[in-house]
A and B are shown apart, each in its own frame.
Chain A
Amino acid sequence: MQIILNGENTMLDSNVTVLDLVKKYDLSPQKVAVELNLEIISRDEYEDYNLSEGDRVEIVEFVGGG
């Protein structure tokens, strides 16, 4: 299925949870935040959310800034 991850079209297998997605990119759940279709998903719920075709996911982190 295709989702939009951080603004980019991304192909995924079916049956992918938010946790699977975070792990796929070797990200540490402690250092990021995830938004699925404008809803913030809390860390302990990552594995409860299955992704669907066309979902918009944002994965963000802290970077240097003023």
Chain B
Amino acid sequence: MTERQILEKKGGSSDSLVIAGKEFSSRLIIGTGKYQSFQQTKEALEASSADIITVALRRVNVFKKDEPKLQDYIDPKQYTYLPNTAGCYTADEAVRTLRLAREAGGWDLVKLEVIGDKKTLYPDMEETYMAAKTLIKEGFSVMVYCTDDPIYAKKLEDIGCVAIMPLAAPIGSGLGIQNKINIALIVENANVPVLVDAGVGTASDASIAMELGCDGVLMNTAIAEAKDPVLMAKAMKLSVTSGRMAYLAGRMNKKQYADPSSPMYNLI
């Protein structure tokens, strides 16, 4: 039975993304950094149909009182704000940041990322794991950004992370999924949603993630740094949807040799 058949048999034809018990109709999560303006961010978000956006926590510039704020353009009541821990290099920094984020916004669903190296922005899995343990104990629902290591992915799930988010390639690189085998292994072993996060560059990268069985894709630079971000946001929406459909449809088997599509009999 394909997944679609299993879903329909259960009586539900909605294919929503469920994270920590909450349903989202979009399987695309987008970041809000690197845009030309808040207006462009808002337009790209609308074109993407994403329900969840990531946001960062930073010091207020107290001397610029009248600077526009993200919340003035993107309503936190209409979209789910997902605070991240970008810029954190230790578990302590990440935990401190998310405690403050929860105080500022009141939300428990968060994205945890603890980086090990400025050049590659690769996750430090040891610090990430320690931070996740603390945050989960404090009642946070942790969506964890991680490497594509299937063992660590399972360990993070086992301690209670609500979603596993392995990278495709380094943040902002646009290189696309570098290790499909590992992403597929993580999907196979996971009982919580798996979302590819970081390194997506164009529409096909997002489709591939969904075709591998991922539950969603998170991206920022792929849209923000496209020549036409609003058009790319629309493309990403379609690619996530089509990749998901292709996965549910159950793809054909790959064959080593040709298999003709037209009948080989009654030839003139």
A binding-site residues for B, Cβ under 8 Å = 5-7, 25-27, 31-35, 38, 40, 42-43, 58-66
Contact = CB atoms under 8 A, between A and B. Distances in A.
- Dominant SS among interface residues on chain A: strand
B105 interface: yes
B41 to A, nearest CB: 6
Contacts of B172: 66
- The CB with the most chain B CB atoms within 10 A, among A5, A7, A38, A60, is that of A60
A58 B86 CA distance: 17
A66 B172 CA distance: 9
Given A60-B60, A64-B55, A65-B33, 13 more contacts: A7-B59, A31-B69, A31-B104, A33-B104, A35-B100, A62-B56, A62-B69, A62-B83, A62-B101, A64-B32, A64-B33, A66-B54, A66-B86
A59 B100 CA distance: 9
A62 B86 CA distance: 12
B103 interface: yes
Contacts of A32: 60, 104
B31 interface: yes
Contacts of A63: 55-58, 70
Nearest to A35: B100
B147 interface: no
B100 A65 contact: no
What 4 pairs between A and B have smallest CB-CB spacing? A65-B56, A66-B31, A66-B220, A33-B104
Interface string B58-75: 111010010001110000
Nearest to B100: A33
B34 interface: yes
Contact of B60 (A40, A61, A65): A61
14 contacts: A6-B60, A26-B65, A40-B99, A58-B59, A60-B57, A60-B100, A62-B56, A62-B81, A64-B55, A65-B31, A65-B32, A65-B54, A65-B84, A66-B220
Nearest to A21: B62
Contacts of B65: 25-26
A59 B55 contact: no
Contacts of A61: 57-58, 60, 69, 104
A26 B69 CA distance: 13
B100 A6 contact: no
Contacts of B32: 64-66
B128 interface: no
A57 to B, nearest CB: 10
B221 interface: yes
A1 B91 CA distance: 33
A27 B34 CA distance: 24
- The CB with the most chain B CB atoms within 10 A, among A34, A38, A40, A61, is that of A61
A63 B101 CA distance: 11
Given A31-B104, A32-B104, A33-B101, A62 B70 contact: yes
A20 to B, nearest CB: 13
A46 to B, nearest CB: 12
A60 B59 contact: yes
